[in-house]
Structures are given as C-alpha cells and as structure tokens.
C-alpha cells in the first residue's frame, strides 16, 4: 500500500486548537533529539485533552486505526512545543485528525501528520455512531 501523501506543510492558522507540551530530558534519545515515537504521545495527549476538557470522552472509546507522520526538523529538551490539531474528515463512527508539532513561537512545523479514531462501544468494541456531543466538538475542529 503506498504511503499517504501529507501534502505541503500546512500553515499554523489551519489548526483549530493548540496544546502546549513541556518536553522532558527523558524525551531525548541517544542522538540528542526527541524520539519520533514521542511525537505520537504528544499528539494523542493533545487530542484527548481537548476532548476531555470539552466533556466529550465519556460515551465512546476512540481506537487509532491509521496514523502517519512526516518529520521536517528535530526538537530536543528543553524545547516547549505546541501541538496543533484539526479535523479533516468526520464519518459515521470515525474522525480523521490532522496535526502539526511546532517549537513554541515558530511558524514552520517540526512534524505534520494524521491519525484516524474509530469510535467503538466499550463492551463489544464494535464501531458505533459518534455521540452528538463528540460530533459537536470535532465539528468545531473541522479544517476550512
């Protein structure tokens, strides 16, 4: 399967919400920069914090079924970063998020990517329609 093309780097203004992350010494790898796996943790925390603050996490479980990231520059402790999030697509039971990771105060992202949540029933783990509250929150993150 061919790699998903993330297209050109999106401008900061295309992201609808930002979550600030203070990096830690332990985020650096042996090469002196933040390990690529940490970027996914930062993004997961940003999206879930946004949904939690909006009170939209109490009805469904979002499982990540697809993700991708393109790195454009490195970050390292003690950088403070901002994770920009937006929604590119809303399905019946899924949401496709776009993200960008910026060094605080910069216009060019260090990484851009996407991930897809499929929302499922907590007991059966089968897809279920997005609850109205969750749908409202992600509609407000919809990219223009």
Domains contained in the chain, CATH given:
13-139 (3.10.129.10)
Q: Whole-angstrom Cα distance, residue 54 to residue 43?
A: 17
pLDDT band per the 50, 70, 90 thresholds, residue 2: very low
The confidence band for 34, taking pLDDT boundaries of 50, 70 and 90, is very high
CA atoms within 13 A on the CB side of 100: 26
Whole-number pLDDT of residue 55: 85
pTM of the model as a whole: 0.87
pLDDT in tens, 64-118: 999 999 999 999 999 999 999 999 999 999 999 999 999 999 999 999 999 999 9
pLDDT at 8: 61
Overall average pLDDT of the 45-63 stretch: 87
């Amino acid at each position: 399967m061919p790699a998903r093309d993330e297209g050109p780097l999106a401008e900061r203004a295309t992201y609808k919400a930002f979550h600030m992350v203070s990096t830690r010494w332990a985020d650096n790898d042996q090469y002196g920069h933040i390990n690529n796996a940490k970027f996914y943790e930062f993004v997961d925390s940003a999206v879930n914090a946004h949904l939690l603050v909006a009170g939209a996490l109490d009805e469904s479980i979002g499982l990540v079924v697809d993700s991708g990231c393109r790195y454009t520059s490195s970050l390292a402790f003690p950088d403070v970063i901002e994770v920009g999030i937006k929604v590119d697509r809303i399905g019946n039971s899924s949401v496709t998020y776009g993200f960008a990771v910026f060094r605080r105060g910069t216009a060019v992202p260090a990484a851009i990517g996407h991930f897809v949540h499929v929302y499922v029933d907590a007991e059966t783990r089968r897809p279920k329609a997005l609850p109205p509250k969750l749908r409202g929150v992600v509609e407000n993150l919809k990219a223009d």
